[in-house]
Amino acid sequence: MKILAGNSNRPLAQAIADYLDLPLTDAAVRRFADEEVFVEIHENVRGEDVFVLQSTAYPANDNLMELLICIDALKRSSARRITAVLPYFGYARQDRKPGPRTPISAKLVANLITTAGADRVLSMDLHAGQIQGFFDIPTDNLYAAPVMSADIRSRFSAKNLMVVSPDVGGVVRARALAKRLDNAPLAIVDKRRERAGESEVMNIIGDVSGRFCILVDDIVDSAGTLCNAAAALMEAGAEGVAAYVSHGVLSGGAVARVESSALTELVITDSIGVPQAVKDAAKIRLLTIAPLFAEAVKRIADETSVSSLFD
């Protein structure tokens, strides 16, 4: 088996390769003067089981094109099987028609990846589980919950914990994490979103008084929802609030917003390559998912169970 890395998240790709004691495939993924993407693989991949690691985060379109061209290069080089490894699947929030004459872009991206020549897809904490059905090829959706729950136990085991979903749509995710934390109680933040990127907290469903709250979500983008939720929880009598989020998109002024918020800390995974501003932030901490993905890659290559990772 071989691991080919695009440019979106080289540190994670290297960490996965190190865990598996494999070198990254020697390849050049670069741009021409007019920003066209060019891929050249410098070693034989004929008959190999190749995993292409590329998060389609910012700049989403550039990283998506890199992924598609890497897949095409491998297919034309006679790779036996190509698995697209997307720690973060961009366009996942466009998984339905929110209004008339709007696209379902997540389905379009799934079609592009399949048409390019991918035989399998491996991702983590897809925004909606049904996105797996957008692909006409086998798709494995990993969960960051085991990594998060282990970290929560090591840092907050002495606290009176309560898991909180920042919206109604995330209740299943929050309940799954609460179950891993010895069936911790669950609360829900009821909010109203007036427009994209903005949210207004309405009320808290559940008694959070005296509890240390763990907010859990799949994506933090502008961080408005999390920061508003943290403020509402503290007003409701919470002892403190920490947030655990799978994908730290953190666009615009999100980092500054988190730093000035009521959050004790925001914990994100390294599914997306982080800029220096995030590394320097006092309230933002990274959890690595390299061992989780490395184990999944190994099991796919060995044709053994991936789901047993979460038993």
Q: Which sequence positions are flagged as catalytic?
A: 191
Whether residue 36 is annotated as binding a ligand: the answer is: yes
Whether residue 193 is annotated as binding a ligand: the answer is: yes
Whether residue 223 is annotated as binding a ligand: the answer is: yes
Name the token pair of 300. Answer: 């796919």
Instruction: Return the SS3 of 47.
Output: coil
In 3D, which of 121, 231, 254, 125 has the Cα closest to residue 177?
A: 125
Whether residue 221 is annotated as binding a ligand: the answer is: yes
Whether residue 182 is annotated as binding a ligand: the answer is: no
Cross-strand bridge partners of residue 37: 31
Whether residue 127 is annotated as binding a ligand: the answer is: yes
Whether residue 264 is annotated as binding a ligand: the answer is: no
Buried b or exposed e, range 232-250, using 16+ CB within 10 angstroms: bbbebebbbbbbbbbbbbb
Whether residue 190 is annotated as binding a ligand: the answer is: no
Amino acid identity for residue 185 in this structure: P
Please name the residue that has the structure tokens 């943290």. Answer: 230
Whether residue 72 is annotated as binding a ligand: the answer is: no
**C-alpha distance from residue 252 to each of 50, 222, 257 (Å):** 35, 7, 10
Q: Known binding site for D-ribose 5-phosphate: residues?
A: 193, 217, 221-225
Q: Known binding site for ATP: residues?
A: 34-36, 93-94
Q: Known binding site for Mg(2+): residues?
A: 127, 167
Q: Known binding site: residues?
A: 34-36, 93-94, 127, 167, 193, 217, 221-225
